[in-house]
């Protein structure tokens, strides 16, 4: 295995275009100072005055939006710089300062919602007819009054804004610990050779290694390090959950689940439908685990065997070749869509793709309306990396089209719809490859990536983590302590149930899987991966079946941002996630992959 390079050794063309955001550290400093200086200016100019006239309100909204846009750009630059090299102390310092700035902006603009509520729905509706620019805000006003019972006084809202920075400390501490401080013991192959274990190569390379000894020792090394710090990690997660309970109570909700789902106007049955359907469909997963054990010719099957390759021949792909395959699969969306994607990936350096020491694990798309929609990932020249690239480009194209078609007030889209666009790309890519590729090894690699990579993460791990998240929050709401041992036992129990009796569970290590998912620091985020993949397959199926206007409907979804409620945006594109139908249909897709795999491996 090649040694992971230091950040400074990476070819620039495979790094994100940081200079397009800020040309120098001095430029970032100036932007940060400008934002913090303007906090006081915006507050003094508009606080207590938004109700004077519709013109004043419009000016205030524009000033607040401009302040937040600049703050987002300053923050994303710092966070992205840190993520691509968590050993960079200068970047870590930027993140701390940017978080402090965010707290100042939140506090300085906290008067907005209380003052809008004081003006009142009827008067605001009249004002939207008096000043043309205010008409844009009708949906945002409607959403605010929907939430009226949970918006506190200006003073309380200001305190909550100032609390945002300290309440995020547990997440930041965990990220620094696992990404920058953790040094993993090397894995070992069956011949006794040592292999380096890092955040960037653990999933993408080591768990996909054909040598079971490598998979086992890498899995043990990775989770043993988390076990070593289980009390610290548990304390951090408990602190984050306590912050969620605090926010729930301050805003007068009955539960953290209702508080989280209320923000996006999602009924609780969407969450419970997913979990109930997942539990009922577990036999499909059990069939896959049994198939894979037999294909691998193993007496037993363990967690780390999920990613084991079923062919000895590895399919190698360059970054450029992967971009070509992805582009071909998305042709039904039109030439403009594909041209934008290719320009971003190959010319404008949207993607920070090269692995390097200190690079954070996983992958994400991140930017602001004033930047490119950047991607952080570690591309390792295989089908899995191609799928990750397709996934993140789905996020980036969603952001790109939203930013180019919506005003700032609707330039964000909710987490509930975020995973639809990313999984849509993967669904389209697999359909294209399974139809056009003839090489059996390539086909097996595509299906294995789909099932062991994407579906296992989104349709197995995430629903199990959603059950874990619900139970831990409910315990915290009842005032029960969340200890390292209780979290470990709960996680091991849930995965034992999900895997079924024929998969061997290493309870101490599997019980720490929760600590390897930073997603749990985003309140009730994980279930949305499973609803997202369900929506994605429902929408891609419309296009693949050739339904009239299916592509146009999907593009309309991407352009909508938050201009409508999330469920309404999806219904307009052709999928209703208030029923279990899309989840059930996606399990049928999973079963189809398993059927095809059975044919290929005999």
Q: What is the pLDDT of residue 199?
A: 86
Nearest to 84 by CA among 17, 153, 158: 17
The whole-angstrom separation of Cα 354 and Cα 244 is 36
Query: What are the catalytic residues?
Result: 392
What is residue 1's predicted lDDT score, i.e. its pLDDT? 42
Residue 18 predicted with pLDDT over 90: yes
Q: Could you tell me if 44 and 312 are in contact, meaning their C-beta atoms sit under 8 angstroms apart?
A: no
Computed over every residue of the chain, the mean pLDDT equals 94
Q: Count of H helices and E strands in the chain?
A: 26, 5
Position 167 scores a pLDDT of 77
Q: Quick check: 355 and 200 in contact, CB under 8 A?
A: yes
Which fold is adopted by the domain 20-167? Butyryl-CoA Dehydrogenase, subunit A; domain 3 (1.20.140)
State pLDDT tens for residues 507-522. Answer: 999 999 999 999 999 8
Predicted confidence (pLDDT) per residue in 409-421, tens digit? 999 998 889 999 9
Edge-first strand order for the sheet with 374-376 is 351-352, 374-376, 364-366
Tens-digit pLDDT profile for residues 537-572:
999 999 999 999 999 999 999 999 999 999 999 999
Residue 457: CB atoms within 10 Å? 17
Cβ neighbours around 585 below 10 Å, total: 14
Contact 310, 444 (CB under 8 A): yes
Residue 6: how many other CB atoms lie within 10 Å: 12
Per-residue model confidence (pLDDT) at position 2? 57
Each residue's pLDDT tens digit, 262-315:
988 999 999 999 999 999 999 999 999 999 999 999 999 999 999 999 988 889
Question: In the predicted model, what is the mean pLDDT of residues 151-180?
Answer: 83
Residue 133, both tokens:
């620019």
- Residue 159: predicted pLDDT: 82
pLDDT band at 152 (very low <50, low <70, confident <90, very high): confident
Give the contacts of 102 (CB within 8 A, at least 6 positions apart). 71, 75, 164, 165
- Residue 165: the pLDDT is 76
List the structure tokens of 277.
């359907």
Q: Is 392 helix (H, G, I), strand (E, B) or coil?
A: helix
Q: Indicate the range of 29-33, 171-175, 403-407, 472-476 predicted with least confidence.
A: 171-175
Distance CA(578)–CA(589), nearest Å, equals 20
Burial 85-111 (b: 16+ CB within 10 A, else e): bbbbeebbebbebbbebbbbbbbbbbb
| Rounded Cα distance, 63 and 60, in Å | 5
Using CA atoms, how far apart are residues 35 and 219, in angstroms rounded to an integer? Answer: 44
CA distances from 380 to 1, 203, 506, 591 (A): 11, 11, 28, 28
The torsion of the CA quartet 375, 379, 384, 389, rounded to 10 degrees, works out to: 30
Q: Please state, in angstroms and rounded to a whole number, the distance separating the CA atoms of residues 201 and 94.
A: 26
Q: What tens digit of pLDDT does each residue of 360-391 get?
A: 888 999 999 999 999 999 998 999 899 999 99
Q: Smallest Cα–Cα separation from 199: which of 215, 213, 218?
A: 218
Q: What percent of the chain has pLDDT over 70?
A: 100
pTM equals 0.86
pLDDT tens column, 57-107:
999 999 999 999 999 999 999 999 999 999 899 999 999 999 999 999 999
Work out the average pLDDT over 232-257: 95
């Amino acid at each position: 295995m090649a040694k992971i390079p230091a950040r400074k050794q990476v070819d620039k063309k495979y790094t994100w275009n940081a200079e397009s955001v800020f040309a120098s550290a001095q430029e970032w400093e100036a932007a940060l100072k400008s934002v913090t200086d303007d906090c006081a200016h915006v507050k003094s100019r508009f606080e207590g005055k938004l109700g004077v006239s519709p013109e004043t309100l419009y000016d205030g909204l524009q000033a607040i939006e401009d302040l937040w846009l600049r703050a987002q750009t300053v923050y994303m630059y710092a966070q992205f710089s840190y993520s691509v090299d968590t050993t960079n102390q200068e970047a870590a310092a930027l993140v701390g300062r940017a978080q402090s700035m965010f707290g100042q902006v939140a506090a300085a603009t906290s008067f907005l919602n209380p003052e809008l509520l004081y003006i009142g729905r009827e008067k605001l509706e009249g004002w939207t007819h008096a000043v043309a620019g205010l008409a844009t805000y009708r949906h945002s006003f409607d959403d605010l009054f929907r939430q009226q019972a949970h918006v506190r006084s200006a003073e309380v809202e200001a305190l909550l804004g100032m609390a945002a920075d300290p309440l995020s400390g547990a997440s930041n501490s965990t990220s620094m610990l696992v990404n920058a401080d953790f040094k993993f013991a090397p894995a070992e192959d069956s011949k006794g050779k040592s292999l380096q274990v890092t955040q960037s190569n653990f999933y993408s390379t080591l768990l996909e290694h054909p040598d079971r000894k490598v998979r086992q020792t890498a899995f043990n090394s990775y989770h043993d390090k988390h076990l070593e710090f289980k009390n610290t990690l548990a304390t951090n997660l408990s602190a984050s959950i306590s912050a969620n309970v605090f926010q729930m109570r301050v805003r007068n909700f009955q539960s953290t689940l209702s508080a989280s789902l209320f923000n996006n106007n999602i009924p609780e049955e969407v969450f419970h439908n997913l979990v109930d359907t997942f539990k009922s469909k577990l036999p499909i997963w059990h069939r896959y685990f049994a198939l894979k054990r037999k294909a691998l010719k193993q007496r037993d099957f363990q967690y780390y065997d999920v990613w084991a390759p079923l062919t000895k021949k590895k399919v190698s792909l360059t970054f450029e070749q992967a971009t070509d395959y992805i582009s071909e699969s998305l042709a039904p969306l039109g030439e403009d869509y594909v041209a934008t994607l290719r320009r971003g990936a190959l010319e404008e350096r949207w993607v920070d793709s090269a692995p390097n020491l200190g690079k954070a694990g996983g992958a994400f798309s991140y930017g602001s309306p004033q930047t490119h929609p950047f991607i952080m990932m570690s591309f390792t020249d295989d089908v899995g990396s191609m799928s990750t690239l397709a996934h993140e480009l789905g996020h980036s194209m969603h952001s790109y089209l939203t930013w180019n078609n919506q005003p700032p007030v609707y330039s964000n889209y909710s987490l509930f719809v975020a995973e639809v666009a990313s999984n849509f790309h993967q669904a389209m890519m697999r359909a294209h490859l399974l139809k056009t590729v003839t090489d059996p090894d390539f086909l097996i690699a595509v299906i294995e990536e789909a099932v062991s990579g994407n579906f296992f993460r989104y349709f197995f791990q995430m629903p199990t983590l959603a059950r874990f998240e619900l139970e831990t929050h409910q315990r915290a709401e009842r005032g029960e302590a969340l200890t390292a041992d209780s979290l470990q036992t709960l996680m091991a129990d849930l995965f034992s149930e999900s895997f079924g009796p024929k998969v061997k569970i290493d309870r101490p290590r599997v019980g720490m899987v929760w600590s390897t998912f930073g997603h749990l620091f985003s309140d009730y985020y994980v279930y949305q991966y499973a609803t997202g993949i369900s929506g994605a397959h429902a929408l891609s199926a419309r296009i693949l079946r050739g339904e009239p206007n299916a592509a146009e409907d999907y593009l309309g979804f991407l352009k909508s941002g938050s201009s409508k409620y999330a469920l309404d945006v999806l219904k307009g594109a052709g999928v209703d996630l208030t029923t279990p139908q899309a989840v059930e249909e996606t399990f049928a897709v999973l079963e189809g992959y398993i059927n095809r795999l059975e044919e290929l491996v005999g």
